[in-house]
Amino acid sequence: MMTGALYKRVVTRSWISDTPDEVEHPPVPLGLNRMAVPRAALVLSIGTVVVLISSTIWVGISAISFLDDLEANFGATDVEMLESEGRWIWEVALLLDTCSSREDDWEWPESLAEQDDGFLFPGELRCDWEHQGEGDAASVAVFNRGNETLSLVMEISGGGLVFAIGGEEHLIINDLEPNGSVILEIDLIESITEREVSITATHVSVLQAQVRLDVNIFEGTEQKDVHVDYNDRVEVDYILWDADTDEQLDEGTLWVNAGNDPAYIDGFEWSAIGLDIDSDRGAAYPGIDTGTSHTTLLPPPLAYGNSDDHELRDSWLRFQLKVNRAPLSSG
């Protein structure tokens, strides 16, 4: 009896031990016994497959949605609406009165004010810019001559120049309204003896729709320390002519905030950008001119074109500006 009992105890336990059965054989957590592992792996595999399928469906839906948005934003652009008379409906110009045909394929009309088409210039421009040292600046105007709101990518190629806004060689003009215009300052960031630089304006969604301005930059004989930038307040002498008749319309001396002065027409305030003066800023030697001058050509949108009752509403204006003084905060 004792032997049977002993045998029974022996065969009901995996090894001879005085340890209670529940301690010697603790419950095995799910996933650690040989049957639970395959079950858990199967469950995890099915879950992984479900997640992958769901992710694939979500990515596919997102891609379709993205393509729909892309088509809605860009694909709907009617290329024909961006053209007029075989040209793209926007124009790019340097404000300086130094411009001519970029490819020698057109001549200036006898009367700028009496042009009978919707464009300001007969074609794309090439302009000269005589700079007075690193840090000099100039003004570039972009005109929308069509009936469509435009978003354009502006880009400078050739090096040495950046847009003052952002300090990069490219920027985006958003929502330029029909018959609207915008003026941008460009800055010279290195010393250049002479270089050809291109500034392009490309439609954001129609990449072949591009207008180009070529600028021949060369070093002037008067290198200056102070260059007039946006919002610098300077005193200038000015003379104003009708660009078609050469009739002198006005002259005087006044203070202007370059590029940001609501008291004057846009073209005049932006014409002050890029003037230069010695480090004395006109204060050290009264009566001695140390400032530079330049001449700008303003089409009606930058002059009085938006003033319905003004006698110069349709006139192209030519301004000569010379800087006399600049406060210490300028340049």
Helix (H) or strand (E) holding 198: strand 194-203
Answer yes or no: do 282 and 208 share one domain: yes
**Can you tell me the mean pLDDT for 198-211?**
97
Answer yes or no: do 138 and 285 share one domain: yes
Question: Three-class SS of residue 6?
Answer: helix
In a domain, 192, yes or no: yes
Answer yes or no: do 52 and 155 share one domain: no
Answer yes or no: do 194 and 62 share one domain: no
Instruction: Provide the residue count of the chain.
Output: 331
Higher pLDDT, 3 or 96: 96
What percent of the chain stands above pLDDT 70? 74
Give yes or no for a contact between 302 and 267, defined as CB atoms under 8 angstroms apart: yes
- Report the distance separating Cα 108 and Cα 123, nearest Å: 10
Report the domain count for the chain: 2
CATH number, domain at 219?
2.60.40.10
In a domain, 249, yes or no: yes
Answer yes or no: do 231 and 309 share one domain: yes
pLDDT tens digit string along 82-133?
Answer: 999 999 999 999 999 999 999 999 999 999 999 988 999 999 999 999 999 9
Answer yes or no: do 104 and 71 share one domain: no
- Report the distance separating Cα 300 and Cα 86, nearest Å: 23
Answer yes or no: do 188 and 250 share one domain: yes
Q: What is the pTM of this model?
A: 0.76
Which range of residues forms the domain containing residue 318?
91-325
End-to-end CA distance of the chain: 114
Answer yes or no: do 222 and 170 share one domain: yes
